[in-house]
A and B are shown apart, each in its own frame.
Chain A
Amino acid sequence: AVVSKGSRHYPPLRALQTSAVLRRASDEHKKAPLTSSSQQHFDSPPAGHQPEQKPQGSRPSYTGQGGQESEDYESEEQLQHRILTAALEFVPEHGWTAEAIAEGAKTLGLSVAAAGMFHSDGSELILHFVSECNSKLSELLEKEQKLVQLGEAEKKPIDEFLRDAVEARLRMLIPYIEKWPQALSVLLLPRNIPSSLNLLTSMIDDIWHYAGDQSTDFNWYTRRAVLTGIYNTTELVMMQDSSPGFEDTWRFLENRVADAMTMSNTASQVQSTGEAVVQGLMGAAVTIKNLAGLNQRR
């Protein structure tokens, strides 16, 4: 029998077909399934196409057809997101590899072949993890900011703020610290550099934003460059740190942040000294011109 659905012309409608796995996003929130009577309102499955696994709950009713992306079915990206999240718990054992992704897919009830959706070197898994950590950091910083705004907490001085933010972010690596060097090397592959650099810069940007930086001049760049340097070096130190509770790493971090502060003080001192020197020179030049009689008006 010839399949006669209009899926080719309405790509979003494909999500409505009995997808075996893409489940309704609303399933996560709703407990009671919808009534099955609503199944009559849209395309019935084409003849010959046997749906072997109906998604949990029945489909919602639609008045329109095609073109309307169903809000309830998750997209492929969301499914991939779920698989990667599930795969994270297998990373300490298998490393950042396609095997960890396969195990993750298994826990979701999918076949291990689903790991084929991702690249075989585990790049997507690592990038997913990094972006998750960055989101968590943002949430943390926002919560702190709210507390400060409500007056329930003291506003921290800049160096302490930066120190705490970087420490919080690095602590998220601790469960995966053994395999993290592998992840770092994968992130440096030419293919991944645009994405990993993007994630890094947006994280640093976030930290400075919550630190209250509103500069619009060249300082914007120097601040971010400095903090990126601090973050990267501390991360590398953490990789080979074997002290209890990573004390050495936090001490290193403290020193680097202090260095940065001193440097910025020095920079502004140099600038004002420079200005003073220039003014002095200008004055000297005018004096000399007066002495030489060049300034006289005839």
Chain B
Amino acid sequence: MAAVLLCRCRALLSRPAGAPRARRGLAAGPEMHFGFQTVTEEERREKIYQVFENVAKKYDVMNDSMTLGIHRVWKDILVHKMNPCPGTLLLDVAGGTGDIAFRFINYVRSVRKRQLQRKLKHHQNLSWQEIFESYQKDEFNSLGDSQVVVCDINREMLKVGKQKAQHLGYSEGLSWVLGNAEELPFDDDKFDVYTIAFGIRNVTRIDLVLLYRSKLITPALSQALQEAYRVLKPGGRFLCLEFSHVSNPLLSRLYDLYSFQVIPVLGEVIAGDWRSYQYLVESIRQFPPQEELKAMIEDAGFFKVDYENLNFGIVAIHSGFKL
């Protein structure tokens, strides 16, 4: 995900230079016998784990440099769209370094402050006793019982996230859980909102792809969506922020050019890891575009599924409700 900015560097991927990956064989469809290296599912999971392990410490820096800081705006928009009120229970999957979680906490805190101010305005004609009691009740409730659980499959990412939280002073209402998006360690009907920002791409199992009704849809992705459906309360919301398809041809070319020329170089210079970023770029390309993802979310049982394009489709926010 760090690969931010990215896009489908088709040119980059079709070159024989660079690490041979199953991805390219896959891109050609049934022609997997082309002689590229194929990996088993287990190996692939290992590889993805290692990618993020290597990238973890420089994750935020890379994000900033590759998107020129715009990823912060994207994440802000996501939380604004969520518009959480105090008392919301959020599950942030693949939320490693905690970006969404921190924004959620800030948002809820300010909403709560406004609520308390409004209540105080009403309390103009109370007796001293009543005022005293109301202060006791509300004083230590700056988050209004909201909580966020950050779940990630990668220990390193969680470690970086915890350090960041300590450094920035977030302690209340935050918990960190190690878990797999395809098999969440939570009970049914637990959360109000489920978000996954730039993580759902990595859930896709590339080697075990099935041609399902002539579309490339993987069982892992739908499994993740079904898990999301399971852990959400009735009325709960699913939000997904992910790189997506740019339909404007001119912009698409510029975008391809940028990520083709700049991203790999940045990866090598800043993180010292060309291959990880190549993987990340490839995974973006393989991901289904907006309409397909919308259809998959509907298939998982969500209602009122909709998406919003940010920056002409470079990034899209999908939203669905468990009704």
When distances are taken between beta carbons in the complex, the residues of chain A under 8 Å from B188 are 50, 52
Number of A-B contacts (CB under 8 A): 100
Say yes or no for A7: interface residue by CB 8 A criterion.
yes
Contact A8–B300 (Cβ < 8 Å): no
Contact A116–B83 (Cβ < 8 Å): yes
- A169, chain B: closest CB distance, angstroms: 29
When distances are taken between beta carbons in the complex, the residues of chain A under 8 Å from B300 are 49
A102 to chain B: closest residue by CB: B85
Say yes or no for B299: interface residue by CB 8 A criterion.
yes
A22 to chain B: closest residue by CB: B323
- A202, chain B: closest CB distance, angstroms: 27
Q: How far is the CA of A21 from the CA of B87 in the complex (A)?
A: 21
Count of A interface residues, CB-CB < 8 Å: 35
When distances are taken between beta carbons in the complex, the residues of chain B under 8 Å from A49 are 226, 229, 300-301
When distances are taken between beta carbons in the complex, the residues of chain B under 8 Å from A7 are 298-299
When distances are taken between beta carbons in the complex, the residues of chain A under 8 Å from B323 are 19-22, 76, 79, 114
* Contacting residues of chain A (121-157) with chain B, CB-CB under 8 angstroms: none
When distances are taken between beta carbons in the complex, the residues of chain A under 8 Å from B233 are 110-111, 113
Contact A52–B299 (Cβ < 8 Å): no
**A3-32 contact mask (Cβ, 8 Å, vs B): 1 or 0:** 101011000001001111110000000000
**B184-216 contact mask (Cβ, 8 Å, vs A): 1 or 0:** 000011001100000000000000001011000
Say yes or no for B232: interface residue by CB 8 A criterion.
yes
When distances are taken between beta carbons in the complex, the residues of chain B under 8 Å from A120 are 83
Given contacts A1-B219, A22-B323, A49-B226, contact A113 B237 (CB under 8 A): yes
Say yes or no for A190: interface residue by CB 8 A criterion.
no
Given contacts A76-B303, A120-B83, contact A113 B234 (CB under 8 A): no
Of B192, B210, B299, B301, the most chain A CB neighbours within 10 A belong to B301
B301 is contacted by which of A8, A17, A102, A110 (Cβ under 8 Å)? A17
When distances are taken between beta carbons in the complex, the residues of chain A under 8 Å from B298 are 7-8, 14
Q: How far is the CA of A111 from the CA of B233 in the complex (A)?
A: 6
Contact A117–B321 (Cβ < 8 Å): yes
Say yes or no for B230: interface residue by CB 8 A criterion.
yes
When distances are taken between beta carbons in the complex, the residues of chain B under 8 Å from A5 are 299
Q: How far is the CA of A2 from the CA of B229 in the complex (A)?
A: 16
Given contacts A2-B219, A48-B223, contact A111 B192 (CB under 8 A): yes
**B49-91 contact mask (Cβ, 8 Å, vs A): 1 or 0:** 0000000000000000000000000000000011111011000
Say yes or no for B295: interface residue by CB 8 A criterion.
yes
State the B residues within 8 Å of A (CB): 81-85, 87-88, 115, 188-189, 192-193, 210, 212-213, 219, 222-223, 226, 229-230, 232-237, 295, 298-301, 303-304, 319, 321-323
- The contact sample of 23 A-B pairs, CB cut-off 8 A, is A3-B299, A17-B301, A18-B301, A20-B234, A22-B303, A48-B222, A49-B301, A50-B188, A53-B189, A76-B303, A76-B304, A108-B235, A109-B235, A110-B235, A111-B237, A112-B235, A113-B88, A113-B233, A113-B236, A113-B237, A113-B321, A115-B83, A117-B304
